[in-house]
A = this chain, B = another copy of it.
Amino acid sequence: MNAATAEFAQYGLAGARVDRIAAAAGVNKAQSYAWFGNKDNLFALVFARHLAAIAQLIPLDGFDLPDYVVRLYDFYLEDPTHVRLATWMRLERVPAGLLSEQMNDHLGPMLESIALAQAQGVVTDRYTPPEAYQLAIGLSLTWSPASVLVAAAPDDDESEHQRRRAILRETAQRTFAP
């Protein structure tokens, strides 16, 4: 699974090679077919696992959305795997709409947290919780490894990272303040 994750994150569904995955994992190819079915299936499994992982890893706190956004910036920076997997999924599998039905499970509690913060006047109610969440994710992706303009890299100057974090925090504040 780890080998497959790395392979799919790097090359995508069309670019990934089953032989390479098996070799990297030190596993026989036929065995992996017995375990995971075909390539598409393996990709779906890898993606589902990562979806669950990130929801746990970066819990959303509706009362501190700016912090959430900055934590996501650092998370993408440290490990581009998640963003890349999700983006491959979007491009190769799901061209429009919600990226994965499975997201609804993880989304529920997050949206509730935002709704709560709204009810207590900590977050603006200009946006519905799904809209606010979409804005937060979008903002966090500004310098992401899937960005269309400049993508942050770990070896960028640390002062640059600091500045981006500050900008993200500030922009989030302005966006989500009542």
Contact = CB atoms under 8 A, between A and B. Distances in A.
Interface size class of A (residues with CB under 8 A): 35 or more
A150 interface: yes
Interface in A80-116: 80, 83-84, 86-88, 90-92, 94-99, 103
Contact of A152 (B14, B86, B96, B149): B96
Interface of A is mostly: helix
A97 B149 CA distance: 8
Nearest to A83: B148
A78 to B, nearest CB: 13
Among A91, A98, A146, max chain B CB count under 10 A is at: A91
Contacts of A138: 138-139, 141-143, 147, 149
Nearest to A127: B167
Nearest to A140: B138
Number of copies: 2
B167 A131 contact: yes
Interface in A145-169: 145-153, 163, 167
A47 to B, nearest CB: 12
Given A91-B146, A131-B167, 12 more contacts: A11-B14, A14-B15, A87-B91, A90-B148, A95-B145, A96-B153, A99-B149, A133-B149, A138-B139, A138-B142, A141-B148, A146-B148
